Chains A and B, each alone.
Chain A
Amino acid sequence: MSTTTEKQGMAERGMGYGLRALNRLAGSDLLDRIRIRKQVEKALFQGTKNGFRGATAAGRTFKAAQQLGKPARQKKGRSTGLFDLSPDDEQQMFQEAGRAFAADQVRKAALEADEKRETPKEILDQANELGVNMLGVPEELGGVMTEQSAATSVLIGEALAHGDMGIAYAALAPGAAATAIGLWGSAEQEATYLPAFTGEDIPAAALAILEPRPLFDPLALETKAKRKGDEWVLSGAKSLIARAVDCELFVIAADAEGIGPALFVVESGAKGLSIEDEPAMGLRPAATGRLLIDKVKLPASALLGEGEAKAKDYAACVNRSRIAWCGLATGTAQAVLDYVIPYVNDRQAFGEPVSNRQGVAFTVSDIGIESNAMRLATYRAASRADRGESFAREAAIARKLCTAKGMQIGSDGVQLLGGHGFVKEHPVERWYRDLRAAGVMEGALLV
């Protein structure tokens, strides 16, 4: 058994994923799963042989089960025309289930998941049971939501991230690929890929947009898709993909020749894909990895939406991802607030609770104000998206708030606990690391 430290050391030495994957085989859960799909074993063997750089998961065979004439789409959300902050009944149901799950399971698993860089399978399974990864699947294809679900997804992301942001990322990442296909995929793409997200064994999947470089702009991609006859050839690299080594399906953003930035549906078995371990400051339960794309040949049908792919859809995708991350940041910010309140009330200094001091109390007030505003801005952006209204401005504003205020809240959370906040005995140091992600991540999640 290697320890966390050894794993980190491994990464520092520039080694890839192989040993970690082997290590994971020791976990019985994973073995069970591999018995179901023998190919993975083979792939892992290949991976380790090639010097700690892993192949992508061999994956299942995606095949169109039914054929619809035109793509199925969830309907736009309704509106009564009234200002309203109350979630509807369905949303409340998801929200409550998410909260209970986060409190009972996610928070409790968070410390160990952070150390091991792995989210327990039971947790992922239970999240799937909650239906979190099929919200973007249209009803015709076995989904549960007739209307668009950005606000619902935000509520769930917020609830799960109150438990742990890294686990929330690991649990929700597959749904991003499904939602992208449900929003912009062709009829054939929907029929091929979406049924897998409504069954029991939901594949790990990823919406891969972020690239490893400073000042990354999702509208100016360095991952290129070149035309070669009827085919596309993709090259580039994508960063911080949740459960990268397990992913069976990728929706990859690339600058497509003659089109501009666009999304491609790529199965993990595609030749030229490989995974490198990419541990980061936070989001560690998501076992983040880097996807390397080396001249991957794809058929014309891999372009999401095929002939209908539009620049505005890609921009919408980028903004919907930002809204999703805002949902997570809001949940984690609320977790900070809920944690520091009893702490500063109990903690004594100079003969009284530290919360009797304005310096401490006002920091709590600011966390309350800004986390509330982060939530409202995120809800506004999401609900506008659901109703088919413009939401680029609102998404940008929510992101700005969640990046700046979210990080401030993360920092204040540690500060209020002083030295105790700096050690792993309390979760605030983890939230500090995770909240930095809200301003860094692009893509990966989708509402």
Chain B
Amino acid sequence: MINLEIPKKFKPLASQANQVATEVFRPISRKYDEAEHAYPKELDMLASLIDGMNEGSDIGGAGAAGVRREKSDDGENRNGSNLSTVLGIIELCWGDVGLLLSMPRQGLGNSAIASVATEEQLKTYGGKWAAMAITEPEAGSDSAAIRTTAELDGDEYVLNGEKIFVTSGDRADLIVVWASLDRSKGRAAIKSFIVERDNPGLKLDRLEHKLGIRASDTANFTLQDCRVPKEALLGDPEVKEKGFAGVMETFDNTRPLVAAMAVGVTRAALEETRKQLKAAGVKIDYDVPANNQHAAAARFLEMEADYEASWLLTLQAAWMADNSKPNSLQASMAKAKAGRTCVDVTLGCVELCGSVGYGENELLEKWARDSKILDIFEGTQQIQLLIIARQLLKKTSSELR
């Protein structure tokens, strides 16, 4: 039965997350935008609270509880952790996306571990904060081209290479590092390894200064003869053709989470702009044709329509995951649409609000800076369009490059 509303059972979760965003994130939003690299200690208490929430229910906090696919082939409609996680993230990012990314134990690495780790690994690494290290100076979107190597030496893997743009890399307890077991075997040999942050072979090179999401630390590392136990390899150690596809599949689950971040930021900008326009005497009417209204109202409606499109695509992708339907296509559609919409809308809102939007007294200019990364990380706009096109056109990555 077609129903595209927030499920009744997740409304308390969404409203809790909204409270957190309002009471905790918003008041310190500007503070940590200015104090880049300072640790937002306010988040420690909140993180414990969210740990508690994760324990007590199937509700996924900021996504770190993992987005394991629920087995369901009974034909029953399911609203599960993918949907609840996405809804929580939207609310939290409406508060502040940089702070969400800084939430202890809520990193993408946690999501990866929770999604594919064995029982043993869960026991060893559970409850820790895990960051994700994929990108290298010479390998961004092309993650199959990574040069970091992992060599088996007795009971240990020895990692060597350079990793950049590691979100929460400085603050996390663990780093999930992507490395190749055999560079001659291409993508099939790429595996992920859990590296403890205090491993002497893992050297922090520097923290980046960024356009936005400044509350979140972005670290660059060198891995030099970095030894990890054999058991630190996540997933299947065999070098198989389908291996890399398995790694990439985790992105099918995490792309909607990033889309959700973009949706949250977009909504924040729209709500503030609606308030500003109202104060300026511009009314937004849903019955009257847009072209018969104030140009600013017409523009707002256009932006709100793109927002709604992003929101719906994001919920669609999450719902499909909850119902064990293949959603790689929809996950990329959500990420592509939400990413570009977030940038367009936040910048459009600054434009509509003029100096009020551009100035630091309001958060509009900050959201317009934060938004840009959301159209870049977890696969840029262009990468999403490639994934979508390959699926729609049934093309291989060698045909459509």
Chain A residues with Cβ below 8 Å from B310 are 373
CB pair B3–A377 under 8 Å, yes or no, is: no
CB pair B400–A83 under 8 Å, yes or no, is: no
The answer to whether residues A83 and B79 also contact, given A88-B1, A368-B392, A376-B4 and a CB cut-off of 8 A, is: yes
Q: Which residues of A, 400-442, contact B by the 8 Å Cβ criterion?
A: 400-401, 404
CA distance A313 to B20 in the complex (A): 40
Q: Which residues of B, 355-386, contact A by the 8 Å Cβ criterion?
A: 382, 384-386
The answer to whether residues A368 and B305 also contact, given A78-B1, A84-B3 and a CB cut-off of 8 A, is: no
CA distance A373 to B312 in the complex (A): 7
CB pair A215–B2 under 8 Å, yes or no, is: no
CA distance A372 to B316 in the complex (A): 10
Asked if B296 lies at the interface with its beta carbon under 8 angstroms from chain A, I say: no
CA distance A85 to B79 in the complex (A): 11
Asked if A217 lies at the interface with its beta carbon under 8 angstroms from chain B, I say: yes
CB pair A392–B4 under 8 Å, yes or no, is: no
Asked if B62 lies at the interface with its beta carbon under 8 angstroms from chain A, I say: no
Interface residue count on the B side (C-beta < 8 Å): 51
Chain A residues with Cβ below 8 Å from B305 are 377, 396-397, 400-401, 404
The answer to whether residues A80 and B77 also contact, given A91-B2, A315-B287, A361-B385 and a CB cut-off of 8 A, is: yes
CB pair B77–A365 under 8 Å, yes or no, is: no
Other-chain contact of A341, B286, B386, B392 (Cβ < 8 Å) = B392
CA distance A3 to B269 in the complex (A): 56
Chain B residues with Cβ below 8 Å from A396 are 286-287, 290, 301, 305
Chain B residues with Cβ below 8 Å from A78 are 1
Other-chain contact of A217, B5, B288, B382 (Cβ < 8 Å) = B288
Taking chain B's interface residues, is the majority helix, strand, or loop, or is none over half, making it mixed? helix
Asked if A380 lies at the interface with its beta carbon under 8 angstroms from chain B, I say: yes
The residue on B at minimum CB distance from A384 is B5
CB pair A355–B312 under 8 Å, yes or no, is: no
CB pair A341–B393 under 8 Å, yes or no, is: yes
A402 to chain B, nearest CB (A): 9
Asked if A61 lies at the interface with its beta carbon under 8 angstroms from chain B, I say: no
The answer to whether residues A397 and B333 also contact, given A85-B319, A86-B1, A392-B287 and a CB cut-off of 8 A, is: no
CB pair B393–A393 under 8 Å, yes or no, is: no
Taking chain A's interface residues, is the majority helix, strand, or loop, or is none over half, making it mixed? helix
Interface string of B1-23 (1 = CB under 8 A from A): 11111111100000000000000
CA distance A379 to B316 in the complex (A): 12
Asked if B185 lies at the interface with its beta carbon under 8 angstroms from chain A, I say: no
Chain A residues with Cβ below 8 Å from B3 are 79-84, 383, 387
Asked if B309 lies at the interface with its beta carbon under 8 angstroms from chain A, I say: yes
The residue on B at minimum CB distance from A367 is B392
CA distance A382 to B7 in the complex (A): 17
CA distance A396 to B298 in the complex (A): 11
The answer to whether residues A361 and B313 also contact, given A79-B3, A83-B6, A366-B385 and a CB cut-off of 8 A, is: no
CB pair A401–B309 under 8 Å, yes or no, is: yes
CB pair A365–B309 under 8 Å, yes or no, is: no
Chain A residues with Cβ below 8 Å from B289 are 215-218
Asked if A23 lies at the interface with its beta carbon under 8 angstroms from chain B, I say: no
CA distance A364 to B2 in the complex (A): 27
CB pair A404–B302 under 8 Å, yes or no, is: yes
Chain B residues with Cβ below 8 Å from A191 are none
CB pair A400–B290 under 8 Å, yes or no, is: yes
Chain B residues with Cβ below 8 Å from A207 are none
CB pair B286–A395 under 8 Å, yes or no, is: yes
Other-chain contact of A84, B1, B8, B337 (Cβ < 8 Å) = B1
Chain B residues with Cβ below 8 Å from A77 are 1
CB pair A376–B386 under 8 Å, yes or no, is: no
B206 to chain A, nearest CB (A): 34
Chain A residues with Cβ below 8 Å from B399 are 353, 356
Given contacts A215-B291, A362-B386, A368-B329, 7 further A-B contacts (CB under 8 A): A82-B8, A217-B292, A361-B393, A361-B400, A365-B385, A372-B313, A397-B301
Interface residues of B (CB under 8 A from A): 1-9, 77, 79, 83, 286-292, 301-302, 304-306, 308-310, 312-313, 315-316, 319, 329-330, 333, 336-337, 382, 384-386, 388-390, 392-395, 399-401
